[in-house]
Amino acid sequence: MEPFEDENVPLYTVGQVADMLSLKQAFLRRIDELQVVSPQRSAGRQRRYTRVEIRVIRQVATMADEGMTLPAIRRIIELEQRLAEVARQRDELAARLSEVSSERMLLARQLSALLRKPRE
């Protein structure tokens, strides 16, 4: 996959993100300080944002415009991330349960066939 195709590659500077989203650079620094969105740093210690982080920043800006505090926004984002992880785990467990149920049914049929065979 090319770096430009990967949403998790940190490509965008504070200035670029501020321009893209019509935000002040100070707002981006503040949400980093409060660990609402924590971008990676380049070798020169400049913040670099991914497209995923930019989407989260857009959401943060919208919530802030609606009057929410940054600590409250951070908590909401944390809970959303936790919920997404729990949903992923649930889906994995459901898939595994389906596999185990199929195996159990196969074993039950095999056992039933063995029990029906006449003894020699």
Q: What is the pLDDT along the chain (120 residues), one digit of tens a residue?
A: 666 778 889 889 999 999 999 999 999 999 999 888 889 998 888 999 999 999 999 999 999 999 999 999 999 999 999 999 999 999 999 999 999 999 999 999 999 988 887 766
Cα distance between residue 73 and residue 81, in whole Å: 12
In a domain, 28, yes or no: yes
Q: Which domain holds residue 29?
A: 14-116
Cα distance between residue 66 and residue 72, in whole Å: 12
In a domain, 2, yes or no: no
In a domain, 5, yes or no: no
CATH number at residue 44: 1.10.1660.10
In a domain, 1, yes or no: no
- Total tally of structural domains belonging to the chain: 1
Residues 5 and 45 sit within 8 Å (Cβ to Cβ): no
**Tokens matching residue 54:** 């930019």
pTM recorded for the entire structure: 0.72
In a domain, 61, yes or no: yes
